[in-house]
Amino acid sequence: MTSQALDEIKIGGLGSSRKRVEDDRFIRGKGNYTDDVVLPGMLHMEILRSPLPHARIKSIDASKAWEIPGVHLVLTGEMMATRNLAWMPTLSYDTQAVLATDKVRFQGQEVACVIADDPYIAKDACEAIEVDYEPLPPIVNPWQALAPDAPVIRDDKVSQADNVVYNWEVGDKAGTDRAFAQADVISKLELHYPRSHPSPIECCGSVADFNRATSKLTVYMTTQAPHIIRAAVAMVAELPEQMIRIISPDIGGGFGNKVPIYPGYVCSILASILLERPVKWIEDKTGNLISTGFARDIYLKGEMALRRDGKILGVRMHTDADHGAFFSDAQPSKFKIGLMHSAFAAYDVPVAHLTARGLYTNKAPGGVAYRCSFRVTEAMFFQERMVQAAADDLGMDQAEFRRMNFVKDDDFPHRTPFGFLTDSGQYAKCLDVGLAAIGYENFRKEQAEARERGRLLGLGISTMTEPLGAGNSREYDILGIKMFDSADLKVHMTGKAILRTGARGQGQGHETTWAQIVAHELGIPADDVTVEEGDTDTAPFGMGTYASRSTPVAGAAVAMVSRKIRAKARKLAAHLLEVSEEDIEWELGRFYVRSSPGRGVTIQECAMAAYSNMPDGMEPGLENTAYYDPPNLTWPFAVYIVTVEVDPETGVWDVLRMVAVDDCGVRINPMIVEGQIMGGLTEAYAMSSMQFITFDADGNCVGSNYMDYLLPSAWETPGYELHSEVVTPCPHHPIGAKGIGECAAVGGPAAFVNAVIDALTGTGVRNIDMPVLPDRVWEAITYRRDVSGAPPVRQD
Ligand code: MCN
Ligand code: CUM
């Protein structure tokens, strides 16, 4: 008797490059985004934003706005204050103004809201509001924030006498000092990782619908974490949690931008409660670019203690992070600077010390969003730029230096210098695959020959290992809510199923890939499994989608709930086959009798029996829920290698080739994984080459529109060569998968910058800050000096 197991690839199981089911509606323009939601009697809200970065509000006169026909409500900070809603708590234990009362603290800050019959009336009415500002000096970088005579931005906080948000440190200071005392060479580098913006195609928005008759509040909103919002609304607005329903419909890209809680959400909810009508708020592009979740804007002073032969003896890092006017990081770790201390996790560094300082400035709050896993992007960028500089200072080969210092395959579990525990990886193998693909030795020869003819070629290597998954619940929580996730699977009598999770995809393809895990575990074809996420009334409680945590946590829950279903189906099979459960074997899609493999029942037959022919005493139905609390984070690894040619006359640089070797453990859907990598690499290329959103000396946001803040089109985007041959299954994940969603955006930027710096070998240039714009490269080449990108930008 040969096996009757189903062909896993054919049913769309693990490893199948199944087409994305959600694309069916997306490419037909049939997605259902927040702005598509239209409710009877719905009103529209617009926000009046501050034109100034720092100013005292002397008065706000909204009387002219109230007089405009079609205006239903004007909300100001003063009115919010009467309901104790002028300020809201942030996820980082700070407070943030919902609508400004005392001062405005960044350009674009929310000052008032108008709710009207349509958005145009609301916008006109915003312009009719008269605000009398008394300008204060703006602070646009940490050095200004630290100046002894700097104005205190957060004078609303009694205990705040300066602009320091926090001082934090981790590692072994004394041990690190000893390592530096013994070093043959000390390599130093100062860097700025500039502000960047996730800029999803869809901006933020909400439709709040409070029904006085039922007391139910339904909010459609662009959130990556609907259950967290429900909990926050319940706690802050003191509404009963069962009366709050958060629906996160289709999301047109999140990239971290839709993790935080924004004033617009709060105001639309309050307006709906006051007016007893649905209120829609849809942010415009400039509003999105100037006021919502920025990322990065952080400075590094890095030092490496090195032995002459190339061994890293110790690492010292100091970072100054610009958090803007409110510390509103939406990150779940207990660490002030997120997971910055994941730096050097892939290298065998005996001892390290990190100090981190956070500063308030007159900029939109942010710092921790954008395909990042909470500062891991910065950690890996700093690490790989420091590693390149160290190899250069030692006169060592870039690849050799990395290989010699990598954590070895048999060194796992490995305690990193800052205290994480990594569990698996094949770092050197990934590097070898990448070097072979790019033709490393050959390129180095070509580079030397080209240089003799005045052509500047460069090669940049970057590696990254990322702590993905948040939680486990022991170490990660949001305002005390532990980090875990969930899946709920209902198998109907005909063998079709619906799966819901506590995650909320924003384009990552969850509707496709979760069904593949069910197919793998149960043999139910993926096409027979509908996946639904984002409605708190139907989905099991979960922490949402960010930190590439969905596969590590919710994806694991999908496997676990499928196994619970299989365990019950096995009992049903035993009943149907009239044998004892111990005599039953499983192969994909089917239970059979061990001694007589031809006698078997399919999973679908078991499903039917669960509703029509269950054994006496068995609870009917085939449904279950699993909550999953992972034992550790997952640790994917990647090597990215870029080659470039720099034009010495203009500073323009072109990418010749880019090779990516990603090891994210078992791949559920190889095509989706490749899409995630290509998207991340494109964002990395954009950040390193062209994206510029900064502030001038007067605190004006430069780059608040898509004429200035560039998104690469297919024309600018280089081609990528992806390699998937290295697979190190995650030892603790039920299907061996590790996260992938952010890896390429995390590890990519350093590869591009390292390549440009490598092309300038011999000029003495050690750093050009991102974005590596042609004029910066030209300046570096012409004046043989480093080029900093720190604001305020020069006025010349
Ligand atoms: N996957 C897989 N095999 C693996 C790992 C993942 O097939 N070994 C699949 C997953 O099933 C999922 C996708 O790849 O369909 C991404 O999975 P995962 O790495 O778990 O990441 P999340 O689903 O948690 O997505 C979050 C991550 C983050 S934090 C940002 S930011 C980001 C990113 O995803 N935002 C995105 N990628 C994005 N892609 C799109 N299109 N839109 C965004 O907003
Ligand atoms: Cu940090 S951006 Mo993603 O984690 O949503």
Question: What's 582-618 look like in SS3?
Answer: HHEEEECCEEEECCEEEEEEEHHHHHHHHHHCCCCCC
The answer to whether the CB of 509 is under 6 A from ligand 1 is: yes
| pLDDT exceeds cutoff 60 at 794 | no
Q: Please give the Cα distance from 725 to 722 (Å, whole number).
A: 10
Rounded to 5 degrees, what are φ and ψ at 586? -115, 135
**Rounded alpha-carbon distances, angstroms, from residue 291 to 51, 60, 102:** 12, 21, 18
Q: From the centroid of its chain, how far is CA 76?
A: 32
Average pLDDT estimate for 510-521: 98
* Tokens matching residue 597: 């493999």
**Cα first-last separation, the chain:** 82
Q: How far is the CA of 749 from the centre of ligand 1 (A)?
A: 19
Q: In what order do the strands lie in the sheet with 55-61?
A: 103-104, 55-61, 130-135
Look up residue 619 and give its DSSP letter: P
The answer to whether the CB of 546 is under 6 A from ligand 2 is: yes
How open is the CA angle 198-204-206, to the nearest 5 degrees? 160
Ligand nearest to the CA of 26: 1
Average pLDDT estimate for 54-66: 98
Alpha helical stretches, state H, 136-246: 142-146, 173-181, 226-236
Look up residue 706 and give its DSSP letter: T
Look up residue 634 and give its DSSP letter: B
Look up residue 322 and give its DSSP letter: E
Q: Which residue has the tokens 């609301």?
A: 122
Q: Which of 184-188, 334-338, 565-569, 622-626 has the lowest mean pLDDT?
A: 334-338
Rounded to 5 degrees, what are φ and ψ at 370? 110, 85
Atom index in ligand 1 nearest the CA of residue 550 equals 24
Cβ(107)–Cβ(699) under 8 Å? Answer: yes
Ligand nearest to the CA of 526: 1
Q: Please give the Cα distance from 255 to 173 (Å, whole number).
A: 35
Q: Please give the Cα distance from 686 to 680 (Å, whole number).
A: 10
Greatest pairwise CA separation for the chain in angstroms: 87
Average pLDDT estimate for 212-217: 95
Q: Please give the Cα distance from 45 to 205 (Å, whole number).
A: 10
Average pLDDT estimate for 264-271: 97
Q: From the centroid of its chain, how far is CA 208?
A: 26
Given pLDDT bands bounded at 50, 70 and 90, which one contains residue 236? Answer: confident
Taking alpha carbons only, the member of 767, 611, 744 closest to residue 674 is 744
How many residues make up the chain in this entry? 796
| pLDDT exceeds cutoff 60 at 795 | no
* Tokens matching residue 303: 């030092």
Residue with CA closest to ligand 1 atom 20: 551
Cβ(768)–Cβ(756) under 8 Å? Answer: yes
The pLDDT mean for the chain works out to 96
| pLDDT exceeds cutoff 90 at 222 | yes
Taking alpha carbons only, the member of 385, 368, 553 closest to residue 471 is 553
* Tokens matching residue 758: 């490598």
Q: How far is the CA of 646 from the centre of ligand 2 (A)?
A: 32
Given pLDDT bands bounded at 50, 70 and 90, which one contains residue 792? Answer: low
Q: Which residues does the annotation mark as catalytic? A: 224, 371-372, 742
Given pLDDT bands bounded at 50, 70 and 90, which one contains residue 235? Answer: confident
Dump pLDDT digits (tens) for 621-675. 999 999 999 999 999 999 999 999 999 999 999 999 999 999 999 999 999 999 9
Q: Please give the Cα distance from 260 to 223 (Å, whole number).
A: 8
* Tokens matching residue 373: 């896993």
Q: Is the peptide bond before 540 cis (omega within 30 degrees of 0)?
A: no
Given pLDDT bands bounded at 50, 70 and 90, which one contains residue 512? Answer: very high
Q: Please give the Cα distance from 557 to 550 (Å, whole number).
A: 10
Of 255, 258, 339, 508, the residue with max ligand 1 atoms within 8 A of its CB, to mutate for a pocket test, comes to 508
**Rounded alpha-carbon distances, angstroms, from residue 81 to 78, 102, 551:** 5, 11, 42
Residue with CA closest to ligand 1 atom 29: 546
Could you write out the three-class secondary structure of 286-307? HHHHHHCCEEEEEEEEEEEEEC
Q: Please give the Cα distance from 413 to 109 (Å, whole number).
A: 46
The answer to whether the CB of 251 is under 6 A from ligand 2 is: no
Q: Please give the Cα distance from 223 to 292 (Å, whole number).
A: 13
* Tokens matching residue 699: 């605190």
| pLDDT exceeds cutoff 60 at 766 | yes
Cβ(737)–Cβ(676) under 8 Å? Answer: no
Residue with CA closest to ligand 1 atom 22: 548
- Per cent of the chain over pLDDT 90 is 93
Of 328, 370, 551, the residue with max ligand 2 atoms within 8 A of its CB, to mutate for a pocket test, comes to 370
| DSSP E strands, 694-784 | 694-695, 701-702, 721-723
* Tokens matching residue 242: 């069962």
Taking alpha carbons only, the member of 116, 97, 84, 68 closest to residue 271 is 116
* Tokens matching residue 190: 């100062």
The pLDDT value recorded for residue 610 is 98
Look up residue 665 and give its DSSP letter: B
Burial class, 160, CB count within 10 angstroms (exposed 0-12 / middle 13-18 / buried 19+): middle
Cβ(368)–Cβ(195) under 8 Å? Answer: no
Q: Is the dihedral of CA 228, 234, 240, 245 positive or negative?
A: negative
Q: Please give the Cα distance from 464 to 664 (Å, whole number).
A: 11
Mention every residue, 6+ apart, whose C-beta is less than 8 A from residue 125. Answer: 46, 65, 68, 71, 74, 114, 116
Atom index in ligand 1 nearest the CA of residue 680 equals 37
Dump pLDDT digits (tens) for 143-182. 999 999 999 999 999 999 999 999 999 999 999 999 999 9
- Per cent of the chain over pLDDT 70 is 99
Q: Please give the Cα distance from 740 to 637 (Å, whole number).
A: 9
* Tokens matching residue 399: 């690849």
The pLDDT value recorded for residue 472 is 81
Q: Please give the Cα distance from 111 to 368 (Å, whole number).
A: 24
Q: Please give the Cα distance from 613 to 608 (Å, whole number).
A: 8
The pLDDT value recorded for residue 652 is 98
The pLDDT value recorded for residue 527 is 98
Atom index in ligand 2 nearest the CA of residue 198 equals 2
Atom index in ligand 1 nearest the CA of residue 743 equals 19
Q: How far is the CA of 548 from the centre of ligand 1 (A)?
A: 6
Q: Please give the Cα distance from 63 to 685 (Å, whole number).
A: 49
Q: What is the identity of the amino acid at 267?
A: C
| pLDDT exceeds cutoff 60 at 407 | yes
The pLDDT value recorded for residue 482 is 87
pTM exceeding 0.75: yes
C-beta neighbour count of 161 within 10 angstroms: 10
Q: Please give the Cα distance from 633 to 590 (Å, whole number).
A: 33
| pLDDT exceeds cutoff 60 at 796 | no
Give the DSSP H/E element, type plus range, for residue 687: helix 670-689
The pLDDT value recorded for residue 1 is 62
